[in-house]
Amino acid sequence: MVVNYTKEYINVSGFASERLITSGKPVIVVTMPRSGTAYIRNVISTHLNLKLVYKYQYASGPRLKYFINHNTLFNEITRKRVYVAGHFPPSHYNLQLLKLSGVKKIVVHFRDPRDALLSWNNHICKPKIIKSELSQIQLLASRNSIACNHYKLSPHEQIDWLIDNYFCDLIEWMYDWLVAKSKNEYIDILLTDFDMLKNTPLAFFNKIINFFNYDKFISNASQLPNPRINPLKYNFNLGQSGNYLQEFNDQQILKTHDILCEKFQSKPYLLQKYGWLKKNSN
């Protein structure tokens, strides 16, 4: 890989330093939680032989308000072939750091937030999480992702709490990335989604590989690992989209529908794609 360096003066939110910036091809995939994150990063980083790097650190506040660790960003992304994983939002701070590090392309991966919320609740209710005090402390520290008395609530009460707290973070995250895609002029953002990953995985991964200008395509689906063989490694459920319809009650379905319609009324692409214009209960 040919690396061209230029000097940039970084001054973002109090961080200032001179760094060498590369024009290489880091692969950055920002994913909604519970959308196949582990599976995507494993396939892409392994196939393209990229070093896996997590590019965020916790900030106080809701779970999806991560901010990028600037030291790790510049130390890793400017000198190596890397795959950057994260759930970080398109805040001014994050986008400026990416811009100043020479990043020109990002993939942002969506999922219907109702299914993502249900998957999140199923995840935090796994026995290994319930039995781990450390995991519970980490979850509580991220605030809106779990109720203090979560395991004493009924399944529908757990969903109610997550709709009132966590759900708003999910749709705000999606909305902000859509705004960033339409308004920023320096980073090309490719939107992908969970349905394509599940239904046409070969096309999904080759679309990402092509977007980042790599020519090492995956030739056939047999090269893709089967998440069923090692579910703990990939943490990827091959169930159908719309599982929330079987788990949410009518009130929860209508409430999340109304929240989505109100938030995304100016984004008809998502409303039409996920059927948010239709009432999903009798």
| Mean pLDDT value across residues 123-141 | 69
| Structure confidence by residue, pLDDT tens digits, 39-68 | 898 899 888 888 777 554 443 334 555 666
Nearest residue to 69 via CA among 97, 50, 90: 97
What is the pLDDT at residue 249? 97
27 backbone φψ class: left, alpha, beta (φ>0; ψ -120 to 50):
beta
| Mean pLDDT value across residues 187-207 | 93
Q: How many other β-carbons are positioned within 10 Å of the β-carbon of residue 214? A: 17
The Cα–Cα gap between 27 and 3 comes to: 15
Q: Is the pLDDT of residue 219 over 60?
A: yes
CB neighbour list of residue 242: distance below 8 Å, 6 or more residues apart: 112, 115
| Mean pLDDT value across residues 165-190 | 90
The domain segmentation of the chain, as residue ranges, is 5-273
Count helices and strands (H / E) in the chain: 14, 9
Average pLDDT, the chain: 77
What is the pLDDT at residue 211? 95
| Structure confidence by residue, pLDDT tens digits, 60-99 | 334 555 666 666 666 666 656 677 777 888 988 888 888 8
**C-alpha torsion 112→114→116→122, nearest 10:** -150
What is the pLDDT at residue 23? 43
What is the pLDDT at residue 60? 35
Give 17's pLDDT tier (boundaries 50, 70, 90).
very low
What is the pLDDT at residue 238? 63
Hey, what are 207's tokens?
A: 């679309």
The Cα–Cα gap between 169 and 113 comes to: 10
For 5-273, which CATH superfamily applies? Answer: P-loop containing nucleotide triphosphate hydrolases (3.40.50.300)
| Structure confidence by residue, pLDDT tens digits, 223-263 | 888 777 766 666 666 667 889 999 999 999 999 989 988 88
Name the percent of the chain lying above pLDDT 90.
27
What is the pLDDT at residue 19? 42
Q: Is the pLDDT of residue 273 over 80?
A: no
Q: Is the pLDDT of residue 15 over 60?
A: no
